[in-house]
Amino acid sequence: MAASSSLLAAGDSAHRRQWRYTWETLAHLPLLRLYLSHPALSAAAPSGLRADLRLEADLLLLSFSLASDPVSLRVPVPRVLVDPSAPPECRAAGDHLEVRLTLVLPVDHPVVAAAFPGAGPPAPLSLRDDLKSLSSGDVHLYCKTCSARLTKQPLRDVVEMPSLNWEDVADNWFGGCCTSFGGASEKLISHYINAYGRLQRTTLLDATSIIIEKDYLETDIVSRVDTSVPSVDFVALEEAMFNVTLESDHTAEKIKLNNSEEEVCHEKKIGSNHLQPPVLLEEGPCIDNTEKNGGTPWTDQCGTIQLNNGGDVNSEKSTSDCFIENMEQTSQEADSNLVDPCSCCGDNGDSGKAGLENQRDYKLTKSISLGSSFIVKEPNLVKDVNWVELLCSHCSSSLGSYPSQYSDAPSDGRVRLFKCYTSSDLPVGGPHDVFRGHTLEKLFVNLLLEIAEDEISFRTIVRDLKTKRPMLQIVLLSSKAWMFSGYCYENEMDGSHVTAHLQPTVKLLYSNCSSASETDLRTVEEWSSKYRAEQLYMMAGQINELTECLSSAKDEFPLSCSSLEGMCLSSLER
């Protein structure tokens, strides 16, 4: 009797095959769809397929025969408003089984959340909530992988990163009234950035990163950042360019760099060649000291150094250098640039002159113009800036990045810590960790949806930020999908089962181009040009992690449903 019982148990375990199930619903369809897959379905077609919905137990019972063997499956049903009067529709579809349930209301309807409290998805990521939480008290930052503390002192003065599109915002806000005078929006932005520049030790926060001065970091991490001596002293170069002296005569005007014996001459003749000074940064208001002779230099948003004593230096961008030209502006023209940007509406220019301070934090201004390297749009690419990956000194996992020029040191004195790799409290992922819900795929999806909404672009090329090579080809199919995936066993008689919670996702097609041949890359470039795909740039480490997320989620769908037009069907959490 004991021997027969053991044989029966062995037979039961042999028949308890694991099945993959995936629930899916889309915002525009009142259907809840179930996919069930197992390799055995490719060898034999099921027969006698029946479905029994038991809403009181949140279960769907399926029974069928497979190769003459009876099979029963217990699949947990998500807590949504299923129409009990509509019978389940089930069918065999080659390598998978499909069941459809009719919904009374969409899953994101407020009535559904009220009917099933606690069963709803987590709150969406909010920059405003992050800013409020980080500003409420002293906050340290920690590595999300090993829990090592990253900051040696608490963060203070956390402010939101100004938009990189302030010119467009200002023009749209003021319209033709102020912008008709030309450059009014640039002067408004200059005031705005100047206000940020007066904040010492300011921490900037955007949707994906927290941008801090490197002095906030623990010593062992700072030592990794300052690993080499720059071939060109960046800080000294800044100070030298801010302390220029203008001397004019009948034939040429000379610029003397502070603490330097070099002189750069610019011939006034039309068509004369431009001489190259030491390399300048490309953009951003920059002022450090006033001139000894009383002149007050400053820069406008076009990168032009204005001097009250009768000159200006226009910086013309090239691939790696900026040129000095057009040194003929009069003091009256320079003073006119200091007028209040809204003087056209009736105010005098005195308030504008008083508002523009001579002292500006240039590095902070440069941080605003550089933004974060988590995702860089094509218009925001900055030439001659190399983004360096920042690693944890304890576990060597990725923490973020920083921009460098001429050396491995941060060119603006700041590092970008990505929220998906950073925690604001211990334990990591605990209730007081502001970044507990910030994963790489959620950060990517949020920006992807912003682009789809603003640019009406559903096709995207993700490129390597360093090599500019296409790495991922993405087509957004549905921005409002909900999914849940798990496993169940055949002939399982145990009454317990997991609870199925639908998670908000986006449904998309993707293609991995990282190892594509030159011929395939040309095809991708033609596809990108034909459909005007959005160009996004990311660092290689983040692209590899994103590719792994896409590849893992691809397995949630049956093989016959996982490809379309040569691309793979997948999903990402939002």
Q: Count CB atoms within 10 A of the CB of residue 246.
A: 20
Percent of the chain at pLDDT > 70 equals 64
pLDDT at 261 over 50: no
Q: What is the pLDDT of residues 39-67, one digit of tens each?
A: 888 888 899 999 999 999 999 999 999 88
Q: Which secondary-structure segment (H or E) carries 547?
A: helix 540-554
Rounded Cα distance, 376 and 470, in Å: 14
Rounded Cα distance, 131 and 119, in Å: 27
Confidence of residue 346 (pLDDT cuts 50, 70, 90): very low
* Nearest Cα to Cα of residue 55 among 500, 485, 494: 500
Average pLDDT over residues 525-548: 96
* Nearest Cα to Cα of residue 210 among 152, 258, 158: 158
Please check whether residue 168 is in contact with residue 301, taking contact to mean a CB–CB distance below 8 angstroms: no
pTM above 0.85, yes or no: no
Q: Count CB atoms within 10 A of the CB of residue 264.
A: 17
Q: Which of 184-188, 196-200, 201-205, 486-490 has the highest mean pLDDT?
A: 486-490
The more confident residue out of 482 and 138 is: 482
Q: Which of 174-178, 243-247, 431-435, 563-567 has the highest mean pLDDT?
A: 431-435
What percent helix, strand, coil does the chain show, rounded to 5?
30, 30, 40
pLDDT at 340 over 70: no
Copy the structure tokens of residue 266: 């610019």
Look over the chain and give the mean of its residue pLDDT values, rounded to a whole number. 74
Amino acid at 244: V
Supply the DSSP symbol for 356: -
For residue 243, report the phi and psi dihedrals to the nearest 5 degrees: -110, 40
Supply the DSSP symbol for 382: -
Q: What is the pLDDT of residue 200?
A: 58
pLDDT at 109 over 70: yes
Average pLDDT over residues 379-392: 89
Q: What is the pLDDT of residue 136?
A: 80
Q: Environment class of residue 2 by beta-carbon count within 10 Å: exposed (0-12), middle (13-18) or buried (19+)?
A: exposed
Q: What is the pLDDT of residue 286?
A: 37
Rounded Cα distance, 530 and 459, in Å: 11
Chain length of the chain:
574
Q: What is the pLDDT of residue 484?
A: 96
Percent of the chain at pLDDT > 90 equals 43
The more confident residue out of 380 and 224 is: 380
Q: What are the DSSP E strand ranges found in 195-287?
A: 203-205, 209-213, 245-248, 252-256, 263-267
The more confident residue out of 194 and 153 is: 153
Q: What is the pLDDT of residue 170?
A: 54
Q: Count CB atoms within 10 A of the CB of residue 421.
A: 23
Q: What is the dihedral of CA 24, 26, 31, 34, to 10 degrees?
A: -10
Q: What is the pLDDT of residue 44?
A: 86
Rounded Cα distance, 266 and 273, in Å: 8
Q: What is the pLDDT of residue 119?
A: 66
Q: What is the pLDDT of residue 487?
A: 93
* Nearest Cα to Cα of residue 420 among 208, 572, 573, 214: 208
Average pLDDT over residues 329-341: 36
For residue 81, report the phi and psi dihedrals to the nearest 5 degrees: -85, 90
Copy the structure tokens of residue 160: 């939101």
Confidence of residue 222 (pLDDT cuts 50, 70, 90): confident
Confidence of residue 192 (pLDDT cuts 50, 70, 90): low
Q: Which residues of 518-533 are buried (b: 16+ CB within 10 A; e: fewer)?
A: eeeeeebeebbeeeeb
Q: What is the pLDDT of residue 538?
A: 96
Average pLDDT over residues 118-144: 87
Rounded Cα distance, 362 and 284, in Å: 7
Q: Environment class of residue 141 by beta-carbon count within 10 Å: exposed (0-12), middle (13-18) or buried (19+)?
A: buried
Q: What is the dihedral of CA 160, 387, 301, 327, to 10 degrees?
A: 160
Q: What is the pLDDT of residues 270-307, one digit of tens each?
A: 333 333 333 333 333 333 433 334 433 333 333 333 33
Confidence of residue 112 (pLDDT cuts 50, 70, 90): confident
Average pLDDT over residues 197-204: 68
Q: What is the dihedral of CA 464, 548, 417, 319, to 10 degrees?
A: 0
- In angstroms, what is the C-alpha Rg of the chain? 30
Please check whether residue 178 is in contact with residue 344, taking contact to mean a CB–CB distance below 8 angstroms: yes
Q: What is the pLDDT of residues 431-485, one digit of tens each?
A: 999 999 999 999 999 999 988 876 667 899 999 999 999 999 999 999 999 999 9
Amino acid at 564: L
Average pLDDT over residues 80-93: 92
Confidence of residue 72 (pLDDT cuts 50, 70, 90): very high
Residue the block writes with tokens 């690693």 = 391
Q: What are the DSSP E strand ranges found in 38-179?
A: 47-54, 59-66, 69-76, 89-92, 96-102, 142-143, 158-160
For residue 106, report the phi and psi dihedrals to the nearest 5 degrees: -60, 155
